[in-house]
Structure 1
Amino acid sequence: MKKLLALVLSVLMLAALVTGCASTPSSGSAPAADGSAPAEKRTIKLGVLAPLTGTNAEYGKGFEVAMQMAVDKINAAGGANGYKLELSVKDSKGDQKESSDLARQFADDEEVMAILGDFTSGACMANAPIVDEAGIVQLSPTASNPDYAGMSDFCFSIMGRQDGEAPFYAKYILKKYMGAKKLGVIYINSDWGKSCYDNFKKQADVEGLELVETVSYVQDEKDFSSLITKLKAANPDTICIMDQGAVPQIINQIKSSGWDIPITTLGPGTSQQLIDLCGKNAEGLLLTSPFFFDPADADITAWKDEFVSKAGFEPTIHPACAYDCVNLIAEAIKASGDGEVTRQTIRDNLAKVEMKGVTGPIKFNETGDITRQYLICGVENGKYVVKEGFDYSKE
């Protein structure tokens, strides 16, 4: 009888031990009976899509550096509601198919709770059906095609939309500031480029601006000489370039052809790489930007200095948006409180987040993107300066 009793007690003790091990808290674990937070919370993995190689590599590297800066700061402060964040960065090469293949890998990985990126609107739009089916957020720092965010409840962007920036470019830089009349336009033939051009042309027509010649090119084009010859033959008074990565090459090839004409651009923002690659050829360039690193702002300057020390180049708004995206996801995780953190809760909480980031106030529209205002910036003596502030479009 004693042996039987001892055997029963041993079995009960083993069952209790197994039960105790199985109840170790993890992501979404209920709080303890006393209301305290779970003893342990696992790391939350975020997938990152960025063009680390190719024409837009400057922007992809900026994504990687800025996002890791945000993760390091969040984790050093105890994580997002106790959850540590971890980045899984993959090189999309600026290619839509590559981006979609990688997005599918992230979607199929249950440990990845949200996707940050990609850089181009075209890649993000190609990924939209994938993230929609998987029910995982794709939060892009830079996609600005107005059709992108509305493609899925899981698609978000914080750059602002081309149906806001492109009309500003036509109305306030070209018409009001420059007094341009006859335009030569060269743009990248991509989803972003076509959206940019279409929204620009609508406003140009309203402003009475004449597009005397329009040419386009495909991703990774290197030789623009024939397009420049065609533009020059139309005798415009101003050139408009719509792209990100190829802008320095186009500017340099225009200048090396001996053509002295005012040049404007929509897309690259205040890219330091553009100045580095163009040198004196960039002097007088005018462009739009929703953000500028104000040297009088100590916090912004400290952020910029840290970025430069880690990236080795000056930031544009693009890495600043990437930094803000990580913090937006962290806020969405925090909003779950003691409840379970899932892909769906991150999506639902993200849609309601209001935050002041490095790039200013962020509040999503119903479609999942935001509305921004724009500055007119230019290159003077090898540096970017603000030519007209946000109030210029209100006068």
Structure 2
Amino acid sequence: MKKNMMKSSICLALVLVLVMSLAGCSGNAGTEEGSETAGETVKIAVMAPLTGNLANIGEQFKQGVELKAKQINEAGGVNGKKVEIEYFDDKGDAKEAANIAQLIVNDEDIVAVVGSYTSSVCFAATPIFDKVGLSMVTPSASNPDLTKNNKVMFMMWTGFNVYAPMIADLAITELDGKDIAVIYAYNDWGIGVKDYFVERAKQLGGNIVAEEMAYDGDKDFKTQLTNIKSKNPDTLVILTYYAEGAIIVQQAKALGIDVQYVASGTFIEDQFLEMAGEYAEGMYAINEFVADDPRPSVQEFVQAYKEEFNGELPGNYQGNAYDALGAIIHAYENSGETREKVNEGLHNLQDYQGISGPLTFKDQEIVKPQVFVQLKDGVWSYYKEASIQ
């Protein structure tokens, strides 16, 4: 009898030790410094190119998101919860994006997504997010077709159907261009921007003397530029990404194309300035904002960014990622905490105070101010508020 009692006591003790051990393990899960247990955070995915040729863009997304998340959390969070960010590297590749999107939707704690960079990546991810009602706010993609046939893709960058005509007004109305040559990226974005630009330019009486294509990754544009030079334009409009754009500017100047240069907002990059150097001095572009933009909301963001990132100046991608997260959290706080409610809140977003002013989503496209900028002494500087004349 005593022997049986001893065995029972030993078994009971072992069970108690096991239970306490399991409890200890459970209590420590997610309690490392800077983390929260499940249900105590608002979990947001950031989908961006974090490696590869576009990694610098992904880093800018991260900077904008991290600044906004820090500000929200230091102010007490949202609905009593901290904002938690999880990053996913799509490498700027459409095939990779589809796989990443599936990983994101499988995590039911994620209530919305900031990302991605290119329209092609967003096109690949959108159908997957749309099936489960998971909202995606892109800081940069601007193809207006992205918002068609779905309810979840929101564009924080103004659509090229809006800003491309403004580039035409800049080139013709503001800068008195008459004979216009265009070189554009041969992809969905570049073709779309070019088409809207040309349509508006012709409405304004501009004479389009040349339309030349630039393939992504190309480094020799002398054939296209030689043809452009033969047409005697007074204005060269470059609608490419910054890497190709910097090479185009260098080679055009080397060929003696001494005309007015105008570009899309894709040129507002430190890497463009490093690559193009003095060849780009004096050119104009359109943008969401620049660091010397006098609007108080812009200056408030610029100062906060400089304090957080050792005096560096922010650009479009940091700013739009910052506003993308802000819009999502605004929807979460005011409409509800589920994916469905966040989506509803984004559809109803109106006059949310963003960096460049009040932000409104109309048919999932952002409505907000634009500015014209000029490169002066190696710095993109505020020229004037952009508009359609």
Structure 2 Cα separation of the partners of residues 293 and 336 of structure 1 = 33
- State the match for 2:93 in structure 1: 95
Q: AA paired with 1:242?
A: L
Q: Secondary structure at the match of 1:364?
A: strand
Kindly state the Cα deviation for residue 320 of structure 1 after the two structures are TM-superposed: 0.6
Q: AA paired with 1:138?
A: M
Q: 1:353 to 1:295 in 2, by over 3 A?
A: closer
Structure 2 Cα separation of the partners of residues 207 and 257 of structure 1 = 29
- Which stretches of structure 1, 4 residues or longer, exceed 4 Å deviation after superposition? 295-299
Select 2:141's aligned residue among 126, 143, 150.
Answer: 143
1:345 aligns with 2:341: yes
Structure 2 alignment gaps of length 5 or more? 1-22, 24-36
Q: Secondary structure at the match of 1:292?
A: coil
Percent identity over the alignment is 29
- State the match for 1:373 in structure 2: 369
Select 1:256's aligned residue among 235, 254, 267.
Answer: 254
Structure 1 Cα separation of the partners of residues 218 and 53 of structure 2 = 9
1:322 aligns with 2:321: yes
CA deviation vs aligned residue, 1:343-381 (integer Å, no higher than 9, x gap): 11111122223310123111111x111223332211122
Structure 1 alignment gaps of length 5 or more? 1-20, 22-38
TM-score (norm 1): 0.81
- State the match for 1:230 in structure 2: 227
Q: AA paired with 2:150?
A: S
Q: Secondary structure at the match of 2:79?
A: coil
Select 1:84's aligned residue among 82, 85, 89.
Answer: 82
Structure 2 Cα separation of the partners of residues 230 and 352 of structure 1 = 49
* Contact 1:164/1:371 (8 A) holds in 2: no
Q: 1:162 to 1:351 in 2, by over 3 A?
A: same
Structure 2 Cα separation of the partners of residues 295 and 180 of structure 1 = 25
TM-score (norm 2): 0.82
Select 2:217's aligned residue among 201, 216, 220.
Answer: 220
- State the match for 1:271 in structure 2: 269
Structure 2 Cα separation of the partners of residues 160 and 232 of structure 1 = 32
Q: Secondary structure at the match of 1:275?
A: helix
Structure 2 Cα separation of the partners of residues 236 and 211 of structure 1 = 9
Q: Secondary structure at the match of 1:335?
A: helix
Q: 1:312 to 1:60 in 2, by over 3 A?
A: farther
Q: 1:95 to 1:336 in 2, by over 3 A?
A: same
Kindly state the Cα deviation for residue 330 of structure 1 after the two structures are TM-superposed: 1.0
Kindly state the Cα deviation for residue 126 of structure 1 after the two structures are TM-superposed: 2.5
Kindly state the Cα deviation for residue 140 of structure 1 after the two structures are TM-superposed: 0.8
Q: Secondary structure at the match of 2:86?
A: strand
* Contact 1:271/1:315 (8 A) holds in 2: no
Structure 1 Cα separation of the partners of residues 38 and 251 of structure 2 = 58
* Contact 1:167/1:200 (8 A) holds in 2: yes
Deviating more after overlay: 251-260 vs 119-128: 251-260
Kindly state the Cα deviation for residue 269 of structure 1 after the two structures are TM-superposed: 5.5
Ranked by relative contact order (alpha carbons within 8 Å, sequence separation 6 or more), the top structure is 1
Structure 2 Cα separation of the partners of residues 313 and 278 of structure 1 = 20
Select 1:209's aligned residue among 206, 209, 219.
Answer: 206
Structural mapping, 1:8-87, within 5 Å: 41-87=39-85
Q: AA paired with 1:332?
A: A
Structure 1 Cα separation of the partners of residues 313 and 115 of structure 2 = 20
CA deviation vs aligned residue, 1:47-76 (integer Å, no higher than 9, x gap): 112223445443321111110111111122
Kindly state the Cα deviation for residue 334 of structure 1 after the two structures are TM-superposed: 0.9
Kindly state the Cα deviation for residue 40 of structure 1 after the two structures are TM-superposed: 8.9
Q: AA paired with 2:240?
A: D
CA deviation vs aligned residue, 1:54-109 (integer Å, no higher than 9, x gap): 45443321111110111111122221112222222223232222223222221222
* Contact 1:377/1:387 (8 A) holds in 2: yes
- State the match for 1:130 in structure 2: 128
Select 1:121's aligned residue among 114, 119, 122.
Answer: 119
Structure 2 Cα separation of the partners of residues 154 and 238 of structure 1 = 39
Deviating more after overlay: 244-253 vs 161-170: 244-253
Deviating more after overlay: 308-317 vs 174-183: 308-317
Structure 2 Cα separation of the partners of residues 231 and 198 of structure 1 = 18
Kindly state the Cα deviation for residue 248 of structure 1 after the two structures are TM-superposed: 1.9
1:244 aligns with 2:258: no
CA deviation vs aligned residue, 1:22-55 (integer Å, no higher than 9, x gap): xxxxxxxxxxxxxxxxx99422321112223445
Structure 2 Cα separation of the partners of residues 311 and 156 of structure 1 = 31
* Contact 1:272/1:315 (8 A) holds in 2: no
- State the match for 2:385 in structure 1: 389
Structure 1 Cα separation of the partners of residues 265 and 180 of structure 2 = 17
Q: AA paired with 1:100?
A: A
- State the match for 1:285 in structure 2: 283
Deviating more after overlay: 254-263 vs 61-70: 254-263
Kindly state the Cα deviation for residue 305 of structure 1 after the two structures are TM-superposed: 4.3
